[in-house]
Structure 1
């Protein structure tokens, strides 16, 4: 076994890491030498056993007899019966093989499409770029294509900043920013910790510039933990991030539009697995410090534990519904940032980290981590039957947080963390680089004043922090009731450019309209569900019902569940319910006119209505501390004194809000479920109750006794 003595001899980080990497690559290349492999046809069927081969030969013989000779009815009946059995055996063998393939797969979506393509015979040879154009320059040379892509990815950001950079930035001390008196210090890294982090890797086959995949690092964690502890601790102690960990391999991903236009590709960066391990160790220390001292604003919902896109959307829409119920003017402004992660200014970021307590050697480490990073573009091209790689020269990236990194998202959150402190007068909702502001007021004139003030504050903050707003994609929305006679749309200017109003837009995956009607979202959802329904139907003959049920939960119910607390009580939800029953019939083999109620129970699937009830009541359970019970309103010993107090609702819209519907549904629950101790117990008991009854409508649930 390798002792790594030559690695442990060096305290200088780059020398030690380079020695380790060279030694590791030496063993790697000896164990897994590169070979030229010719592309094979995709017609191999792994499920064919020796017994099936024998049956296949017999089937061919019987078919020949059937075509060329006159046979008795008994023999013909035997051949038909044998053919039917043979087909069912083949189908079952395919199902077993595909089930095993799905269970082994890390990427279920990719596995699903591989099975569909295999069964339909549709194989794509890959998204190869045959030619590329950047302005007046056009080429079909594969090496030049890789070079052009890398140059575009680097220079497009630099050109953007050159036209918009703030040449006289305000110092961080002149902004409103919360100074942290505590200072972050590095805790030593241990072998046990490294093993735990390596074990947490997903084990993907993708690899960085060194071509070492994650799964290989996982397999040999016992043998590399000792040198890695030495290298990583030396890195933290000296404040130096190894240079060879700063190399990113970039692959172009087609977005939309013309495939030969370079601007229609975006970079996907892959870093070295050893870089990921070190970053994860540092991330754990940084997030622990940030969490302990509550440094991140509570308004930020992106990349945070126990928060998701649903968290800000619930807050945002609840605020709008409540304000509309009180007949207030409600203006929403939805900002679109241009290349938010790529244009981060390193000097400003390091200055802010210093304010937040990341000082001294820890600040030096992050400075080293951000500086002198390089990237190259790798493209593939199929030449006859051999796939060739083309690699561009290295180019340095001098802005932004590293793409594809573990630390990048958290560093971005810290970069924009002071935004709410510098913008006063509106309700702000943040999800990473999604920045949204609500302006609410009874008086139209005051609402206009608030908007003007907020836009000026935002303009200053974005300029100071060298962040760029795409005014063409930034939109405003004036929320109002459907029967409102006049709609207030005050003028909104950013950098002397007027912001356009929209009657509908997509907000964190939810289609919202200016009157908060949900027919647009439901229509969009039905379109997505239709595609998923097609996938499940395509797989019905080659996957078992149990595996189809798993795909239903992963691909169909996940779409259903998202945002259902807003639209689940709408009349249009019946359209979604019909699609759900159609998919359930596909999975179970049920006829078009057969009732699905028992199948919902047998498969443990909640109807659309029950999914809505479950999500709304779980929301109420989580936020019960914010609600008022009847016992707090009056002292009478009534049967409902422990129920939550129902607010007075002026409008149907407010009556259908998450909180008001949740309170009404909660009052109809059996006492045993109401009194469940703890959220997990409550959710388990509620789900069991709902599955047992399979209600189709809210009225069925409300009237149940």
Structure 2
């Protein structure tokens, strides 16, 4: 049955165990391709089993030599490029108003490509599958060692093993020397000359080749992976041709002022471009725009204003080059990849301008709900987590409990219905030119996927806001903004990350929370959004043992959990940080093990950089929120730094002073750094108008002799667990700060002053 299930054939045809009384076939050679296996030779064995000898005839293809061609912008002649752009500017502006947006863009794009080909040389990089320290000398020694090994094995002469062992020793010595030279000389030099290459060596990614398996467990050919992924991504989009329009609140805002685009503003954006940003399908490189900002800003300003005034975008601005990014789970499933769209850099610059004007208009009219902290200036994951955890801690401090429903929207950005989004945008009294431009920006888009060095055919996109664009997140916030108005319980949002919660004091609270879940389900149906019920979870927050309430979504019971990873933090049902601290420590220790195995011979300065970048950063993500107060957790976290310090200095002597070693490296304790993070976050809350009113209490009394002017009230705590949570604990530490520091409004100056006392 086993052989039939896998389509195996038994190749052994003769008995392999022969005794005086019987002859049986006990040895198996199974294959799905018996034509690859030579005839089996049956030889006398050492026991009563025959010895089977056969060959597998397979031709192993050599891996193709991979190479890529790049532009060498370091050797570009930008003086000549700018001179030609200056001359081109007069020609471009002469009949500008008589040409369409597309014609003007085509003229500019052709000039950019002409100058790029003329003045920016190319170079070819061949992909090296060997270790970065592996050189030609080591390769020759390796080949020599292999030749001598084969010769010694064939000769049956012990004297032939002597030159092999000498060659093997020479090879090992050369490898050791090459590793030392690479880690002590090449890597530090690489850090100063090519930081991008440096970090590729330090933290290499997995092989970029994508291998997919279809529903029948067959491997999809490599050349079809791009089209398979594109088909999978396209299925995420909804094609609701004519949805009914639900009721939506209309706003009596004053009409938004028209947007005027100035060359100075465009030039500033061009100068601030990240050179490493990937270009879109128009191949306009940010390095080119950055180095020609004076003339490019004038040309692009004219095109941007014409595009906005006419409500029209060049075709290249509406095409996305999608890079599939693995999220989690099985890498062979196309469902476990997220589409990241690379769009035109010039279009993104215009999006930045429109984003700034639109966001300022909405913020000035207090459009966004207080519950939304995603993609908003002065808000962050930390502010969202602090607000959520503070409310949870208050409930537990009152010996009460709460039920939390963590909701997971399925492909939220891709599901946004264009017609319904336009319907909401029209209620905001936006400038009519901006509204027309936004509608044209979203409709009739297309995308193609790049995978395994191949690009799929473009496919039309019928819904959603483009991921990877500048305006996409803001448009999504507008679309989801009225979700909170449908519920009576607390709701916290960070973009599409949503948690619904309510204090449970009686059965009626459970009924209300279930009613809110039903209301959210109705909202999703009306606005064409979907919830991934399998990933939606319920958690009962309490320190008491009790029967857990049950909640349903679309009549499907939600799974209970005792810990949930929310915005990168593991939140436990009793609000302790043991589980999250353990997770962080294990993650950091894995990275430390990787560095020990691969960079033991590196210099101390390089090891220190690797520690602060790759290990300490893992230990300190959102640490201001979860900074533990228990001594054993503090010591466990510090142990990771202690082990890292020994690695940095290559000092594993048990009697060596760790405090002295950390002092020599200017490494403060992790606990003191977390305290500084908490005070810095508190400073942000204090000078944030809305968050200050929501979270910070006024002081009962300010002593002119002992207190500074920015003293705050400390929340009263019945339990030590609440007092050691972020707000009570940090409020007390804030009040103890010197007045000269607590009154500093600028966050950068505050952090600098804080570093001298924490």
Normalising by structure 1, what TM-score?
0.80
1:145 to 2:228 alignment: no
> Which of 618, 621, 625 is the equivalent residue of 1:559?
618
In the alignment, the residues of structure 2 paired with residue 13 and residue 279 of structure 1 have an alpha-carbon distance, to the nearest angstrom, of: 16
Would you say the 8 A contact 2:708–2:738 is kept in 1?
no
Alignment-derived partner of residue 486 in structure 1: 546
SS of equivalent to 2:312:
coil
> Which of 564, 567, 570 is the equivalent residue of 1:511?
570
1:430 to 2:498 alignment: no
Query: Cα distance 1:530–1:167, how it changes in 2: closer, same or farther (>3 A)?
Result: same
Would you say the 8 A contact 1:536–1:587 is kept in 2?
no
Alignment-derived partner of residue 578 in structure 1: 639
Matches within 5 A, 1:618-657: 618-623=680-685, 626-631=696-701, 646-657=714-725
In the alignment, the residues of structure 2 paired with residue 460 and residue 429 of structure 1 have an alpha-carbon distance, to the nearest angstrom, of: 18
Query: Cα distance 1:687–1:257, how it changes in 2: closer, same or farther (>3 A)?
Result: closer
Would you say the 8 A contact 1:166–1:463 is kept in 2?
no
Query: Cα distance 1:530–1:330, how it changes in 2: closer, same or farther (>3 A)?
Result: same
The structural deviation recorded for 1:221 is 2.8
Q: Which has the higher contact order (CA 8 A, sep 6+)?
A: 1
In the alignment, the residues of structure 2 paired with residue 453 and residue 395 of structure 1 have an alpha-carbon distance, to the nearest angstrom, of: 40
In the alignment, the residues of structure 1 paired with residue 295 and residue 109 of structure 2 have an alpha-carbon distance, to the nearest angstrom, of: 13
Would you say the 8 A contact 2:444–2:460 is kept in 1?
yes
> Which of 228, 231, 242 is the equivalent residue of 2:303?
231
Would you say the 8 A contact 1:448–1:490 is kept in 2?
yes
SS of equivalent to 2:500:
strand
1:377 to 2:449 alignment: yes
The structural deviation recorded for 1:663 is 3.9
> Which of 96, 99, 104 is the equivalent residue of 2:188?
99
The structural deviation recorded for 1:449 is 2.8
Would you say the 8 A contact 2:270–2:297 is kept in 1?
no
Alignment-derived partner of residue 157 in structure 1: 236
How far does the alpha carbon of each residue in 1:371-401 deviate from its partner, in whole angstroms, 9 at most, with x for none?
A: 1111112233xxxxxxxx4222221101000
Query: Cα distance 1:45–1:428, how it changes in 2: closer, same or farther (>3 A)?
Result: same
The structural deviation recorded for 1:529 is 0.9
The structural deviation recorded for 1:347 is 1.2
In the alignment, the residues of structure 2 paired with residue 335 and residue 653 of structure 1 have an alpha-carbon distance, to the nearest angstrom, of: 27
The structural deviation recorded for 1:364 is 0.6
The structural deviation recorded for 1:4 is 4.6
> Which of 425, 429, 447 is the equivalent residue of 1:357?
429
In the alignment, the residues of structure 2 paired with residue 502 and residue 561 of structure 1 have an alpha-carbon distance, to the nearest angstrom, of: 25
Normalising by structure 2, what TM-score?
0.74
Alignment-derived partner of residue 198 in structure 2: 111
How far does the alpha carbon of each residue in 1:441-494 deviate from its partner, in whole angstroms, 9 at most, with x for none?
A: 4x222311321331132122212211111111101111111xx2424x322222
In the alignment, the residues of structure 1 paired with residue 713 and residue 124 of structure 2 have an alpha-carbon distance, to the nearest angstrom, of: 72
Query: Cα distance 1:335–1:183, how it changes in 2: closer, same or farther (>3 A)?
Result: same
1:458 to 2:520 alignment: yes
CA root-mean-square deviation: 3.7
Matches within 5 A, 1:4-43: 4=89, 7-8=92-93, 9=95, 10-31=98-119, 39=127
The structural deviation recorded for 1:308 is 1.6
1:439 to 2:502 alignment: yes
Query: Cα distance 1:414–1:104, how it changes in 2: closer, same or farther (>3 A)?
Result: farther
Greater Cα shift, 348-357 or 177-186: 177-186
How far does the alpha carbon of each residue in 1:336-368 deviate from its partner, in whole angstroms, 9 at most, with x for none?
A: 000000010111111212222324221110010
Q: How many residues align?
A: 627
In the alignment, structure 1 segments of 5+ residues that lack a partner are 49-83, 118-122, 381-388, 691-705
1:390 to 2:457 alignment: no
In the alignment, the residues of structure 2 paired with residue 452 and residue 525 of structure 1 have an alpha-carbon distance, to the nearest angstrom, of: 34
Alignment-derived partner of residue 317 in structure 1: 389
The structural deviation recorded for 1:305 is 2.0
The structural deviation recorded for 1:90 is 8.8
The structural deviation recorded for 1:667 is 5.8
Alignment-derived partner of residue 696 in structure 1: none
SS of equivalent to 2:412:
coil
Query: Cα distance 1:181–1:649, how it changes in 2: closer, same or farther (>3 A)?
Result: closer
Alignment-derived partner of residue 560 in structure 2: 501
The structural deviation recorded for 1:256 is 4.8
The structural deviation recorded for 1:235 is 0.3
1:587 to 2:648 alignment: yes
Greater Cα shift, 561-570 or 524-533: 561-570
In the alignment, the residues of structure 1 paired with residue 590 and residue 732 of structure 2 have an alpha-carbon distance, to the nearest angstrom, of: 35
SS of equivalent to 2:450:
strand
In the alignment, the residues of structure 2 paired with residue 168 and residue 244 of structure 1 have an alpha-carbon distance, to the nearest angstrom, of: 29
> Which of 411, 418, 421 is the equivalent residue of 2:482?
418
The structural deviation recorded for 1:641 is 12
Alignment-derived partner of residue 568 in structure 1: 628
Would you say the 8 A contact 1:95–1:541 is kept in 2?
no
In the alignment, the residues of structure 2 paired with residue 541 and residue 235 of structure 1 have an alpha-carbon distance, to the nearest angstrom, of: 56
Would you say the 8 A contact 2:134–2:178 is kept in 1?
no
In the alignment, the residues of structure 2 paired with residue 89 and residue 168 of structure 1 have an alpha-carbon distance, to the nearest angstrom, of: 66
The structural deviation recorded for 1:275 is 2.0
In the alignment, the residues of structure 2 paired with residue 656 and residue 417 of structure 1 have an alpha-carbon distance, to the nearest angstrom, of: 34
Alignment-derived partner of residue 689 in structure 1: 757
Matches within 5 A, 1:202-351: 202-204=274-276, 206-351=278-423
Greater Cα shift, 273-282 or 589-598: 589-598
Query: Cα distance 1:284–1:640, how it changes in 2: closer, same or farther (>3 A)?
Result: closer
